[in-house]
Structure 1
Amino acid sequence: MSKEQQPPTLPEEALVKPVRTVSKIWLVPIVALFIGVWMVYYQWSNQGQLITLQFKTANGLEAGKTKIKTRDVDIGLVRDIELSEDLSGVVVTVRMHKKVAPILHSDNQFWIVSPSVSLNGISGLGTILSGPYINMAPGIDKQMSEDFVALEAPPVTPAGTPGLHVTLNSESEFAYKKGDPVIYKGIKVGEFEDIHFNFKERIVYYNTFIEAPYHKLITSNTTFWDISGVQMELGASGVKVSTGSLETLLTNGVTFGIPEGMPVGEQINGRSFFDIHPSYASASEERFKLSAEYVILVKDTIRGLQVGAPVEYRGLIIGKVLAINSLDTTQEDLLEQGYDIPVVISIQPGRVQQPDNAIGLAFIRKQTSLWIEQGLRATLKTGNLLTGALFVDLQHYPDAPPLKSQRQMGYEVIPTITGEFSEITSKVTAILDNINEIKLKEISENANTMLSQISQSAQALQATASSVERLLNTVQEDKISSTLTNTLENISNLTQDYSADSETYKELNHTMQSLQGTLKELQPLLMQLNSKPNSLIFTNGNGPRLIPKAKANSKDGAIN
């Protein structure tokens, strides 16, 4: 039988095995899980540091929306805003970018930027549409930090700005605020940053920043003075008006410089303290450190004399008034002698070409004592008629009686003489006294009597004059007519004598003709005299020439 015809065999029992492979559908969640883990890791590894900012208020801030910027670049985002534990402010949690971590210095400055208008200008206009944001000014401190106290307003000078910080103090009534300018020759070179009032000293301190490169102008001899608004000074020398820049007309401001006559000094490299003086004149006084103090006892009025008034010697300022009536005086017989007002003055060696040291001070004291014995006297004079300001004038008076140097209340006394105003007053008083001594009533009665007599005499004189006038008129009317008639007759006779047919006329005509003929005959002689004045004495050479002849000898015929 062939293989095709063989009967089929029965199949064997099937072997069943379990499937152990994972379905491909599970790849999708596995991949998604890995992506999620990677994204979480990436986000965690690339997220920045969390920092906290303390603000007074959270005005304009929103969690998840408000950004942190520096130089207009986003560097973080506000994550959370909550009140502080003592409810004195708010704590803002900010997530910073990872790249910003190296610049989170402890002296970084944060503040809210929003639209503001001030005298310094308009700022923050871009936040009108985008909303407020927090700005950061990087510091320079090497220490890092995560907690910061934000500023209530933008800093005047961001940390790290090249320049110099100085502290100014003032005991005067004028005051400054943040942002007020520091001017140097019309250029704004700095600003006031911070204000602090010391209650113990009762002095206001101003932390001020001078920008580079102008901070190199600050030296040990630099002085600051006020130039706020329009300054008007009324003193003994007159009225002085000074102003700063246009900005200082609206706000306050100071300027600085080195007073004339002082050396430049050494440059200041660290924080230093300077006083703010009311004016340049007051600042210039700082160069005179030493002064010799004296007292003058004034018998006249001191109305118009003020502390700081100049002390002059022949028109040259050599010092100033230090105090007026501030000394304890114990004058005897006050009711009998009167009260002499003590005025303390100073003479500064530096103003009289002397060194501003102990040697110059000793010279001034010795020379002044010698001059007092030789007639140096003090007097009050008017420096300005408009204001009535007085100053102390020192002059030599040779006629003054010699006085030895005296001391009173610890000061050497410079004798005084009566001032010019008192002299004028005394002269006017003397004139008024003389006028009062005149018996004006008797003079008035005598004058009235004399005037009545003069009036009567005038009336009598007027009557006499009228009588004389009438008499003269009568005489003139009688004689004038006869006199005039005789005069006219004489003129008529004289005219007839000189008429053309009269003998007088003929004789006068004949005389004139004879005179004319004589002049014609004399004309050649006059012409000869005019050309040769000596012709009447010497001949003119035209006559016969005489030749002298010798006498003949009778014997030999020779000529002798």
Structure 2
Amino acid sequence: MKTQQPLDAEIKTVKTISTIWFVPIVALLIGGWMVYYHISNQGPTVTILFNSAEGMEAGKTKIKSRSVTIGEVETIKLNDQDDGVIVTARMSKNTEKMLMEDSKFWVVSPKVALSGITGLDTLISGVYIELSPGSSKQGRNEFTALNSPPITPKGTPGLQVTLISDKEFAYSQGDPIIYKGLTVGKIEEVHFNINERAVYYNAFIHAPYHELLTNNTRFWDASGLVVDLNAEGISLKTGSLQTILTNGVTFGIPDGMPLGTKINELDSFQIFDDYQGASNARYKYSLQYVMLVSDTIRGLSVGAPVEYRGVTVGEVSSVELITTDPSIMYSEAVRIPVLLSIQPGRIGLPDNEQGMALMKKHNTLWIKEGLRASLKTGSLLTGSLFVELQHFDLPRLEKLETYQNYPVIPTVKDQYSQLIDKVELFVDKLNGLPLDELTGNANVTLVNAASLLSELQHTSQNLDKLLVSAEQQGLIKQLRVALDSFETLSQDFSSGSQGYEGLQEAMKSISDVMYELKPLLEQLKHKPNGLIFDSGSQDLEPKKHSEVNQ
């Protein structure tokens, strides 16, 4: 019996994976998918520069546009110069089209101002960053935030203009622009030009009011309550309630000017002090004259009107013309120069070089023929003066006087000076009277008058005595009897009485007799010999001397 040899076993390794590994694999896959989903749904990263990070927190502060969250602040750090902060934010997916060259960022926080209260919702949710999308085609990831929210939202229909002012009044962002009492726009930005010493205001006029703007539009100040003391008296000017509390600008086309043509975006306009200044700005051409005043010019200010028979033809340009010889300022005969601007456009002449030539020709002739200037009081209340031009019957001037190359309009004294001269003349005449002699004569007259009054009193007493004596002697009774008789006689001949009827009949009889005698009187008037010769005989004619001799 054979012994069977044992067989060698073939050992094979079975490659199997334990089910326990499925858990981390699935978790890894889920994590990877989540990472991929998170990364695929992330938007771009933006960097925003702020002056301060007040109210902002990394991981909490949101970025919104039209109240929709589109991003979140990730980090906040100081910049290299330590004068601002750099905020890095992660935007949501599909926000790349909002991040353009002209996009704007700013912080929204509670703000209380005279123009209103904004950002109240941030009292609960905290501050957030607002994004105003741009319209540019060029993308951008780094921005500098605005210090305050823009006044006008992007895309608002209307027109932007630039307003310029070198006056004392100033405006702030949000101050209104008013037209006939309606708020039609606001001041958006303020810039100060150091070289020009002027303030530039970027303003926005909402549609459809921007259609009102033309090249003849004028802007002027409408801030607060303005009390103006001028040659016309006292005037009180005010805008709306909002402009009383803050400041404001209004605009319009001055009376007498055409509407003009439409303007373009960002055209510039000057801001004038008031409507009158805006209206006067239409006159571009003017002739300069000087009047030399011998009296005081207190009350005469720059801008005071120059009138010809009540019509304004110009204004006072300067009262500070300094002479080349200051030593004569201490002379009694010094005359103060006042510079006048007379505009041809105010009197209907063309507002151009041709109008100036015509006015210069006429003015030269008028001055030679007696045109004179004088200071007049425009208001007794304010004491303001204005210049009046008037013609006087004076000898003709052969040549015009000049002062610093300006033609001079000769002057006559004003009303006040003429009054003072008359008062001084009266005082001089009064001083020239012989008052001592007059006083002596007056004393003598008073003594004589006293003596006369004494005599009159004595005469009056004698008359009283005479009347008493006449009463006692019955003279008064006799006068009364005579008056009674006269009254009875008057009654007898009064209308309706018997005596009156008899008198009427007598007058009638006399009238009848005169009527009967009328033919006889007519005959005597024409033929005086009618009573001697027969009325039927022919009139006798005197014979000639030759006939008598025959």
TM-score clears 0.5: yes
RMSD: 3.0
The answer on 1:403 being equivalent to 2:401 is no
Deviations 1:503-555 (A, max 9, x none): xxxxxxxx9xxx9xxxxxxxxxxxxxxxxxxxxxxxxxxxxxxxxxxxxxxxx
Closer/same/farther in 2, CA of residues 148 and 198 from structure 1, 3 Å limit? same
After TM superposition, give the deviation of residue 220 of structure 1 in Å.
2.1
Tell me which of 333, 343, 352 is aligned to 2:338: 343
| Kept after mapping to 2: 8 A contact 1:155/1:193 | yes
Separation in 1 of the partners of 2:377 and 2:476? 80
Per the alignment, in what secondary structure is the counterpart of residue 57 of structure 2?
Answer: coil
Give the letter for the 1:134 counterpart.
Answer: I
Letter matched to residue 376 of structure 2: K
Report the more deviating stretch, 233-242 or 313-322: 233-242
Alignment-derived partner of residue 209 in structure 2: 214
Q: Which residue of 1 aligns with 2:218?
A: 223
Per-residue deviation, 1:362 = 0.7
Distance 1:12 1:198, change over 3 A: closer
Matched with 1:298 is 293
SS at match of 2:94: helix
Deviations 1:31-58 (A, max 9, x none): 1111111111111111111112222222
Mark the CA change 1:472 to 1:70 in structure 2 (over 3 Å): closer, same or farther: same
1:336-485 → structure 2 map (5 Å cutoff)? 338-397=333-392, 399-408=393-402, 409-479=404-474
Q: Aligned AA for 1:406?
A: L
Per-residue deviation at 1:326? 0.5
Tell me by how many angstroms 1:373 deviates. 2.3
Please, what TM-score do these two structures have when normalized by structure 2?
Answer: 0.81
Please give the secondary structure, in 2, of the residue aligned with 1:41. helix
Note closer, same or farther for the CA distance 1:203–1:481 as it changes in structure 2 (3 Å cut): closer
| Range 116-125 or range 160-169, more displaced | 160-169
What per-residue deviation string (whole Å, max 9, x for no partner) do you get for residues 352-374 of structure 1?
11111111111111111122222
Change (3 A) 1:99 1:336: closer
**One-letter code of the match for 2:127?**
P
More deviation, 354-363/383-392? 383-392
Q: Any idea what the Cα deviations from partners look like across 1:458-484, whole Å, max 9, x if unmatched?
A: 334334433442353244234379869
Aligned equivalent of 1:147 = 142
Q: Distance in 2 between matches of 1:156 and 1:468?
A: 105
5 Å-filtered alignment, 1:510-549, equals: none
Residue of structure 1 in register with 2:63 after alignment: 68
- Mapping of residues 180-329 of structure 1, within 5 Å: 180-329=175-324
Deviation at 1:13, TM superposition (A): 8.7
How far 1:311 sits from its partner (Å)?
1.3
User: Does 2:130 correspond to 1:135?
Assistant: yes
User: 1:18/1:243 Cα in 2 relative to 1: closer, same or farther (>3 Å)?
Assistant: same
Distance in 1, Cα, partners of 2:476 & 2:279: 100
- Asked if structure 1 preserves the Cα contact closer than 8 Å seen for 2:104 and 2:134, the reply is yes
Aligned equivalents of 1:411 and 1:113: distance in 2?
Answer: 61
User: Which amino acid letter does the alignment assign opposite residue 119 of structure 2?
Assistant: G
Amino acid in structure 2 at the alignment position of 1:212: A
Distance in 2 separating the partners of 1:96 and 1:229:
46
Structure 2 counterpart of 1:140, one-letter code: S
More displaced stretch, 172-181 vs 50-59: 50-59
Indicate whether 1:36 and 2:41 are aligned.
no
The sequence identity of aligned pairs, in percent, is: 50
Measured after TM superposition, the shift of residue 128 of structure 1 is 1.5
How far, CA to CA, are the matches of 1:480 and 1:40 in structure 2? 153
Classify 1:327/1:363 alpha carbon distance in 2 versus 1 (closer, same or farther; 3 Å): farther
What displacement does 1:443 show? 3.2
Task: Tell me how far 1:180 sits from its aligned partner.
Answer: 0.7
Q: Which residue of structure 1 aligns with residue 519 of structure 2?
A: none
For the Cα contact (< 8 Å) 1:372–1:404, is it kept in 2? no
Change (3 A) 1:460 1:352: closer
Larger CA Rg, structure 1 vs 2: 1
For residues 325 and 66 of structure 1, the distance between their equivalents in structure 2, rounded to whole angstroms, comes to: 62
Letter matched to residue 314 of structure 2: G
**Structure 1 residue 380 displacement after superposition:** 1.7
Cα distance in structure 2, aligned partners of 1:265 and 1:473: 102
Structure 1 range deviating more: 292-301 or 242-251: 292-301
Identify which of 81, 88, 99 aligns with 2:83.
88
Change (3 A) 1:336 1:206: closer
- In structure 2, do the counterparts of structure 1 residues 100 and 419 end up closer, same or farther at CA, with 3 Å as the change threshold? same
- Matched position secondary structure for 1:373: helix
User: What secondary structure is seen at the aligned counterpart in 2 of 1:406?
Assistant: coil
In the alignment, which of 165, 168, 192 is matched to residue 170 of structure 1? 165
Q: In structure 2, how many angstroms separate the alpha carbons of the residues matched to 1:177 and 1:429?
A: 57
2:96 to 93, 97, 101: 101
Contact 1:107 1:159 (8 Å CA) reproduced: no
Q: Is the 8 A contact 1:139 1:160 kept in 2?
A: no
* Unaligned segments of structure 1, at least 5 residues: 1-8, 495-510, 516-560
1:333–1:277 Cα change, 3 Å: closer
CA distance, structure 1, for counterparts of residue 34 and residue 178 of structure 2: 57
Q: Name the CA shift for 1:480/1:260 in 2 (closer, same or farther; >3 Å).
A: closer
Q: 2: distance between equivalents of 1:63 and 1:391?
A: 69
Quote how far apart the aligned CAs of 1:133 are. Answer: 1.3
The change in CA–CA distance for 1:177 and 1:331 in structure 2 (over 3 A counts) is closer
Q: State whether residues 470 and 476 of structure 2, in contact with CA within 8 Å, keep that contact through their aligned partners in structure 1.
A: no
The alpha-carbon distance between structure 1 residues 481 and 448, as it changes in their structure 2 partners (threshold 3 A), is: closer
Q: Distance in 1 between matches of 2:369 and 2:477?
A: 93
Paired residues of 2:328 and 2:334 also in contact (CA < 8 A)? no
Q: Which secondary structure state, in structure 2, belongs to the residue aligned with residue 247 of structure 1?
A: helix
Conserved 8 A contact 2:176-2:249: yes
Taking structure 1 as the reference length, the TM-score comes to: 0.79
**Aligned equivalents of 2:316, 2:295: Cα separation in 1:** 16
Question: Which runs of structure 1 show a deviation greater than 4 angstroms over 4 or more consecutive aligned residues?
Answer: 11-17, 329-337, 480-484
Aligned position for 1:525: none
> Whole-Å Cα distance in 2 between the matches of residues 335 and 42 of structure 1?
94
> Residue 341 of structure 1: CA displacement?
1.8
Judging changes above 3 Å, is the alpha-carbon distance between structure 1 residues 332 and 187 closer, same or farther for their aligned structure 2 residues?
A: closer
- CA–CA distance in structure 1, aligned partners of residues 332 and 142 of structure 2: 77
The CA distance in 2 between the partners of 1:388 and 1:481, in whole Å, is 73
Deviations 1:89-126 (A, max 9, x none): 22211111012122111222222212221111111111
Q: Deviations over 1:225-251 (max 9, x none)?
A: 101112222222232222212211111
The Cα shift of 1:435 comes to: 1.9
